[in-house]
Structure 1
Amino acid sequence: MLATHEQPLKTHVVTSDTRMAGVPAVLRYRSDDPFAVRLAFLDVDPDGDPDGDPDGGADGEEGAADGTGAVTDAIEWVFARDLLTDGLHTPTGEGDVHVWPFGPSDLMIELRSGASTALVITPQAAVRMFLCHAYAIVPAGSEPRHLDLDRALARLVDHGQG
């Protein structure tokens, strides 16, 4: 049985060109992908229109509302749940994602793509709450029991034929 959890986040994002902006985001966890977490940055249209069309119609993308207008997923990063957990206590990460405590109550998540880097600052409390739910869904050490390798392989084969 699939179990999921989503945690809205208030983030500040600092980009490679030193721009800083508040960007709504959400952390997502799925029991069928037990080792991973997803950090989705949401595209907000202040007019409440998810796709920016003047007709106000949705464009078919999956979205959620946070009270500030309509939102649609714009960018999603997938990385290890353990990376997020360890990063609450000590600097950690390899490759494109690094996580470390930032001051007494925030968490820094560094995301790299090619020559671009974004620093994401978010409250530790929200991340801790998210992880409590994620570990309640799939406790540490039990992840392999939640993997459906036959389904994952079937999806790979289907994508390879499309």
Structure 2
Amino acid sequence: MSTVIEQPLEARLVASAPCMESVPATLRYDRGDPYAVSMAFPPPATLEGVEVSWAFSRELLTQGVEGPAGLGDVRVRPYGYDRTVVEFHAPEGIAVVHVRTSEVRRFLDRAQLLVPAGREYQYLDVDRNLSRLLDE
């Protein structure tokens, strides 16, 4: 069984202009980092022209599809019937995207099958992480 889940999705970039631009994005979950998920945007979708990836907790994403969640760099909240808003806060500014809640739920269901919520600690490789930390 694969230890990594990736799910492409369409994100709508919210801007000050009246229409929202569609950009590709990928949600990713790796059993090797069981508490985290990431959302990546390919180079054409970013101002810098390089892939940008934001990592945040799986719990934040799970909570954010039900109600407002997050106080830091990443904030998630439901919007309307089948949309979830993800805000990315950085010193350069804020990026806001809308994604389909059904796609986020499908991703979270797949992650749940790979690593059940509450059992993430069983998938941590403490020895490897400690060794890496001591090498640095």
TM over 0.5: yes
Normalised TM-score (structure 1): 0.74
* Higher gyration radius (CA): 1
Give the match for residue 11 of structure 1: 11
The structure with the greater share of residues assigned to helix is 2
The structure with the greater share of residues assigned to strand is 1
* Contact 1:91 1:98 (C-alpha < 8 Å) held by counterparts: yes
Structure 2: give runs of 5+ residues left out of the alignment.
none
Give the match for residue 32 of structure 1: 32
Q: CA RMSD in A?
A: 2.1
- Distance in 1 separating the partners of 2:111 and 2:81: 23
* Contact 1:88 1:100 (C-alpha < 8 Å) held by counterparts: yes
- Following superposition, the deviation at residue 44 of structure 1 comes to 4.1
Q: Which amino acid aligns with 1:90?
A: G
* Contact 1:11 1:24 (C-alpha < 8 Å) held by counterparts: yes
Structure 1: give runs of 5+ residues left out of the alignment.
46-71
**Runs of 4+ off more than 4 Å:** none
- Following superposition, the deviation at residue 151 of structure 1 comes to 1.0
2:60 match: secondary structure: helix
- Distance in 2 separating the partners of 1:157 and 1:127: 36
Confirm or deny that 1:105 pairs with 2:82.
yes
* Contact 1:8 1:24 (C-alpha < 8 Å) held by counterparts: yes
Q: Which amino acid aligns with 1:104?
A: Y
Q: Which amino acid aligns with 1:121?
A: H
Paired positions, count:
131
- Distance in 1 separating the partners of 2:63 and 2:50: 26
Normalised TM-score (structure 2): 0.88
- Following superposition, the deviation at residue 42 of structure 1 comes to 1.4
Structure-2 change in CA distance of 1:132 and 1:110 (3 Å) = same
**Identity of counterpart residues, as a percentage?**
42
- Distance in 2 separating the partners of 1:147 and 1:37: 15
- Distance in 2 separating the partners of 1:27 and 1:73: 17
